[in-house]
């Protein structure tokens, strides 16, 4: 790797742990983190907080420096939608790889604010692509989209192949039909399309990491010093289902399963997510496709199965409620992750380990969660 690494969304749940891991992996490189810090404001405006208190970035950087005796993370508060800022940053810091994690990430929030979600997410990605084209087309662009862009099709899900269980048409580097059920997922579908287009039109190496649901609160670095914690949202808008179940369990609140609970998705721990992203940075793409989509997940679980895992550890009830979302509650779901298995690190964490660890961490913040338990559900 010739230059430094830019991480967008550096103040986010995944962004901060990725910055730390990259800094430790490449001590001779500068890790440039960028974030607007809007996520903090959005969650606050929704009447909630991160279950785990998240100090300002300046403080976390100081703790990181003291803990690991390194000072190679540089943090900038700014917006990647600014073309001039991005071009300047790529040149000023000699960027050779971008890990793009910045987005408005909430499906429910996107249904309230569709124009903002599309503008924010798609313009941010497009700004990065055009800046790379102008400054240095050799810069590698890695983005985390989401496996949610597939929706729940009635055929097997491959990274870039279209088919059914009995018929498969291989179309290298082509996009499968996307049927994600929110404006957030649609924004990420178009991001995937832009990554593919940028690789074909401008020769930019793009890696599309389609993440499953990220579960857990801990990484190797956070275990060294809990002041390095990343955020853990549990509210209706920004708390993924796994987070909400764990937070509900800690305060003795029934686990609220939407509908029949048959909604099935791929899951992966936070630690494994960080490991996969850093592995993608290390990936030698010279012999690979210019556009490389990779499904990132360990195993698939239904909502009911996740609730049963959490309930089994915490001893709380499961409550089936009317589904506030428009989605299939029972469906076929069979995604492949053969590229992750063959090209990246092997995931290590089981759901059992992740649930046990998460519940243990959240016990320390039981009062903080209880004070905001009204944010678990929103009646609209």
Which residues in 6-25 are b (16+ Cβ under 10 Å) and which e?
A: bbbbbbbbbbbbbbbbbbbe
DSSP code string of 197-212:
HHHHHH---EEEEEE-
Distance CA 218, CA 354 (A): 9
Catalytic residue among 146, 152, 273, 298: 146
Say which DSSP state 14 is in.
T
Is 146 catalytic? The answer is yes
Which residues have a Cβ under 8 Å from the Cβ of 21 and sit 6 or more positions away?
A: 219, 220, 221, 274, 275, 278
Q: Which of 26, 75, 93, 184 is catalytic?
A: 184
DSSP tally for the chain: helices H, then strands E:
14, 14
Q: How far apart are CA 70 and CA 67, in angstroms?
A: 8
Selected catalytic residue, list 150, 188, 230, 358 = 188
- Reference 295, options 176, 147, 84, 98; nearest CA is 147
Answer yes or no: 188 catalytic: yes
Structure tokens at 26: 């490449």
Q: Using the CB atoms, write b or e for 175-193: b if 16+ within 10 Å.
A: bbebebbbbbbbbbbbbbe
Is residue 258 annotated as part of the catalytic site, yes or no? no
> How many angstroms separate the CA atoms of 64 and 318, rounded?
39
> Which ranges constitute the DSSP H helices of 2-149?
15-25, 38-45, 57-68, 83-92, 107-112, 114-135
Nearest CA among 290, 134, 143, 271 for reference residue 205: 290
Active site residues: 146, 184, 188
């Amino acid at each position: 790797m010739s230059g430094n690494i830019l991480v967008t969304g550096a103040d986010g749940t995944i962004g901060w742990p990725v910055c730390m891991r990259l800094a430790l992996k490449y001590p001779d490189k500068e890790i440039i983190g960028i974030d607007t810090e809007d996520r903090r404001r959005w969650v606050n405006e929704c009447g909630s907080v991160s279950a785990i208190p998240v100090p300002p970035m300046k403080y976390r950087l100081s703790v990181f420096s003291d803990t690991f005796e390194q000072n190679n993370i540089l943090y900038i508060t700014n917006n990647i939608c600014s073309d001039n800022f991005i071009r300047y940053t790529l040149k000023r810091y000699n960027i050779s790889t971008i890990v793009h994690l910045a987005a408005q990430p909430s499906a429910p929030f996107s249904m309230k604010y569709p124009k903002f979600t599309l503008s924010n997410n798609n313009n941010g990605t497009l700004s990065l692509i055009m800046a790379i084209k102008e400054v240095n087309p050799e810069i590698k662009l890695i983005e985390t989209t989401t496996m949610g862009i597939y929706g729940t099709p009635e055929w097997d899900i491959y990274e870039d192949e279209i088919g059914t269980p009995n018929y498969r048409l291989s179309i290298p580097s082509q996009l499968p039909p996307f049927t994600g059920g929110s404006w957030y997922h649609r924004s990420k579908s178009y991001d995937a399309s832009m990554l593919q287009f940028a690789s074909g039109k401008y020769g930019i190496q793009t890696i599309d990491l389609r993440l499953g649901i990220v579960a857990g609160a801990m990484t190797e670095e956070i275990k060294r010093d809990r002041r390095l914690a990343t955020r853990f949202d549990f509210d209706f808008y920004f708390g993924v289902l796994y987070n909400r179940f764990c937070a509900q369990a800690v305060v003795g609140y029934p686990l609220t399963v939407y509908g029949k609970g048959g909604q099935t998705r791929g899951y992966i721990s936070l630690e494994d997510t960080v490991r996969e992203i850093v592995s993608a940075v290390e990936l030698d793409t010279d012999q690979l496709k210019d556009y490389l989509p990779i499904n990132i997940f360990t195993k698939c679980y239904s909502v009911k199965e996740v609730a049963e895992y959490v309930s089994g550890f915490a001893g709380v009830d499961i409550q089936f409620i009317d589904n506030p979302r428009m989605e299939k509650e029972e469906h076929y779901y069979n995604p492949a992750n053969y590229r992750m298995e063959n090209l990246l690190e092997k995931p290590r964490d089981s759901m059992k380990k992740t649930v046990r660890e998460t519940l243990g961490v959240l016990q320390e913040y039981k009062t903080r969660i209880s004070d905001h338990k009204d944010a678990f559900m929103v009646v609209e």
